[in-house]
Amino acid sequence: MGRGCKPTAPVSVMLTHKAAKWRKGDVMPMGKLAFAGSDPGLPPPAVPTLLLVEDSVYAADAIRLACRHVGLRLRRAASLAEARRHLGLYRPHAVMIDVGLPDGSGAELVAALAAAPERPRLVIATSAESAARAVAEAAGADLFLEKPVSGIRPFQRIAEAIGSPGRPASENGSVTPDAVALHQDLARLDVLIGNGPASAAYAAQFAEAVARAARDGALAACAARVRRALARPGQDIRAEMAALRGLVRARLAATPAI
């Protein structure tokens, strides 16, 4: 699978702009976030910068291509812990956070940033599940994007919202991420499934998100069956997990590793 752009349907973007106010004594989720933006003497990067907190390499590659198209610099963290380290070093203009992360809920980071004294200009939440919109907006997200996020136009809107003219998007094209990135996600998923029941819930969630990004209906349906089985207390999920692993390995064999 190569990289490129192709036309797609217009994407509707709604900025909710919940102006969360931080008050002394309020409880900030995730403890006390070390956020470089709390130092007013520290300027943001010279180039408009989006910090992406996203565990999927494939989804991140699509967003990287879209950001490059509109002139945004992208930095990525794959977990809440990595995001904390980034935010302790520099002040991004905008932060885009996946709600479902390997070490906790991205909604906690949304709430922490929305309440920070020197918040990013835009706090964005993403999820493959439409039900996560209400959670993200309640946490203080300015914008919610449902995955897969592959259109260029939303990123032009983001560039404009953070005060950057960016590069005009003449059409709302969609980007095609590298198939090698998909292979990396599938390889990680195979390891997660092999970790057994302790990782089953996150593995199924990650599998469904990757499947939607890759527009793989069969893989998405298989992951959804695992999640339904997990929702039934006492349910033996070995058959569902074996089916998921078989499908993941078939996809691995069909995608390039390099």
- At residue 164, the pLDDT reads 76
Please tell me whether residues 192 and 160 are part of one structural domain. no
- The overall pTM is greater than 0.85: no
Please tell me whether residues 223 and 143 are part of one structural domain. no
Please tell me whether residues 103 and 210 are part of one structural domain. no
Q: What are phi and psi of 48, to 5 degrees?
A: -50, 120
CB 119 within 8 A of CB 138: no
Please tell me whether residues 99 and 119 are part of one structural domain. yes
CB 207 within 8 A of CB 39: no
Q: Tokens 């390039």 appear where? A: 256
List pLDDT tens digits, range 97-156.
999 999 999 999 999 999 998 899 999 999 999 899 999 999 999 999 999 987 898 999
CB 103 within 8 A of CB 16: no
- At residue 47, the pLDDT reads 83
Please tell me whether residues 31 and 72 are part of one structural domain. yes
Give a yes or no: residue 98 inside a domain: yes
The whole-number average pLDDT for the span 8-17 is: 33
Measured CA to CA, the distance from residue 130 to residue 112 in angstroms comes to: 22
Burial class of 215 by CB neighbour count within 10 A (0 to 12, 13 to 18, 19+): exposed
Answer with the one of 175, 199, 227 that is the final residue of a domain. Answer: 175
Please tell me whether residues 154 and 65 are part of one structural domain. yes
Domain span including residue 42: 13-175
Q: Distances in Å between the alpha carbon of 247 and those of 152, 181, 196? A: 31, 18, 17
Q: What's the one-letter identity of residue 118?
A: E
Give a yes or no: residue 99 inside a domain: yes
Domains held by the chain: number: 2
Residues in the chain: 258
Measured CA to CA, the distance from residue 111 to residue 205 in angstroms comes to: 22
Please tell me whether residues 86 and 210 are part of one structural domain. no
- Is residue 66 pLDDT above 90, yes or no? yes
Answer with the one of 118, 144, 175 that is the final residue of a domain. Answer: 175
Please tell me whether residues 220 and 121 are part of one structural domain. no
CB 195 within 8 A of CB 174: no
List pLDDT tens digits, range 216-258.
999 999 999 999 999 999 999 999 999 999 999 999 999 989 8
Give a yes or no: residue 125 inside a domain: yes
List pLDDT tens digits, range 187-215.
999 999 999 999 999 999 999 999 999 99
Please tell me whether residues 40 and 110 are part of one structural domain. yes
- Is residue 20 pLDDT above 60, yes or no? no
